[in-house]
Structure 1
Amino acid sequence: MKDQPKREIDIIDLKVAFGDFYALKGVSFFANKREFLGIIGASGAGKTTVLRVLTGQISPTEGKAFVGGYDVTKKRDLISLLVGYVPQLEHLSLYYDFTPLQNAQFFGRCFGMRPKEIEERARNIMTILGFDEELMTKEVKKLSGGERKRVSICLGMIHDPPVLLLDEPTTGLDAHLRHETLNYLKSLNYELGTTMVIISHDLEIVDYCSRVCLLESGLVSQFGTPSDLISTLPGKGESLKVTLSEMRPALVEKIDSISGVEYTSRAGRNALKIFIDEPEKNLLPIITTLNELMISFEEVSLVESDFFDYFAVKPWKRKPKGGTKL
């Protein structure tokens, strides 16, 4: 019998109340060792409360939170050793007059590490993060925003924690730097085996995650691998993209009413994605029906569905339109 993967993080029926208000209403999710977990939600969903429990800032009202096999709700003194933390704002964790290596020495000594050990660890992490000798020895105040973010990541990992918890790591970065930062985190995850947990409101991070937890109003609305969640859509990961001559609500309503079409979502200025069972088989029937309905279009093509589609459709909240198969 195949061994079950080791769970590095295991959150079980976690509840957090502030007076009569429950910020978390019994959430459960997990991440196996070496996984990349994204915890996603809008403001007020409960993301910050999860973060505060995992970093030992508050105790839950009920439930358990295991990190590396230890229930950190009961052994809060172990949290700093088990969890590295990268705050949303770099100035909270960096000394700007120090170099990255000097910052690492300061924080490493807080964990009782020896100077030589800190130097070796910091250089290894910073090399993976794309730093050369010049950047490692430049004052932090002279670094760019993306470079400071990477220094903050290094400090969160300096004591070699099994889990790195990142609070909105892409906030304030432009598109190029967001993807660059996420790629560096993926490299650290691969090279060092650190389990990554990203708290974010940004769906962009899903492309880098091996597992995703969607929080809504203090509850887990969806949890699983991105591919498993996407495959629950009609078409099991595929859909039809219709490029219309123009986009009008009346045309969308007509397409929504086509037999067999379960969901639709916008996919650009004049484009619409159609979610239907067996989309490849139904491509020609859809084209025929569009012509019969006198809907002017430029193209209908078979495309892959992605997590943006899944989140736009929100199948857990909407009932499929159904209808007779084409």
Structure 2
Amino acid sequence: MSQNPTDTFSVTKAETSKIASVDFENLAFGNVFTDHMLYCDFTDGQWGTPVITPYAPMPMDPSSRVFHYGQAIFEGMKAYKDEQDAIWLFRPDQNLDRFNKSAVRLAMPEVPEHIFMEGLKQLINLDKEWVKKGKGNSLYLRPFMIATGHGVIASPSAQYRFMIIMSPAKSYYQGEVKVLIAEHYSRAANGGIGAAKAAGNYSAQFYPTRLANEQGYQQVIWTDDATHTKLEEAGTMNVFFKINDTLYTAPTSERILDGVTRKSILELVKRDNIKLEVRSVLVEELLTAANDGSLKEIFGAGTAAVINPIVGFAYQDTYYELPKQENPIALQIKDKLTNIQHKLAEDTFGWTVKI
């Protein structure tokens, strides 16, 4: 491009900041948002000028396609501030790549790299005081796109809006997590949109998760749609199992999201020579390992929590408590990963990108 990408943005700053009213020590995840947001509209087959404006509600036509046919995708990312007050992103290229793969799968236009990346950079720089130092603190970033075209005919929209909003976050900890292994409900099916980060994937999980909550479990471990014999994801996260001294996780597929945290864990454990197998883990394998004592750990992996240990699981009305580990591999990996994200350890992978 001959034009400097920064010149293509329209920026209107908020007259006052609401940051002074925020209790940063007691943040509920994803409930408080920074002073500014970004949006960019796709009309007549092309992207318009990206706009950064004070965070505010926006008018929507009641016939907007997103309300009727669910064309909506998103990403979850974080920005971190190091001890020298520099701000860093973690593998943003992976989020952009996955975002556009999701867009293609839902018949939406791909977002150009300069709008996505430069939009993040300008927005974060404008609200940089919202990024707090200290391990566990971060600024959660939510790029998303919705169909804004009018009309209720069942076809892809011709107009879309790409947006970025940001929310300060503390360490995401939910206490002890117990899970229920799904026997009937599925997160996704072959040929479906399970590999896309589509809004509908998450709304479809709410009902079976609520049923699990009513039985005293916080999350569901999803199984494959065809046989319900293969363990696939935990809640909204990729899932890992440690049996004896080996880590196992399912391969990505049309049903399983290619998580950025997941792929980072794979590279970390390979670097550290931890035994790893990327293959389908069967429910019967897990039950055998739980009964003979070889099942040591289960944990979920995702952007919000990074790593969330699971203390036990239930299957067919039987609950299996996991043994307490003196130095769990889940927390070892989490520590290594968050040290890289917060620039407390050398980033030998080249994952961190300075704002």
Query: Is the structural similarity TM-score above 0.5?
Result: no
Tell me which structure has the larger Cα radius of gyration: 1
Shorter-chain TM range is: under 0.3
Structure with greater proportional helix content: 1
Query: TM (normalized to structure 1)?
Result: 0.26
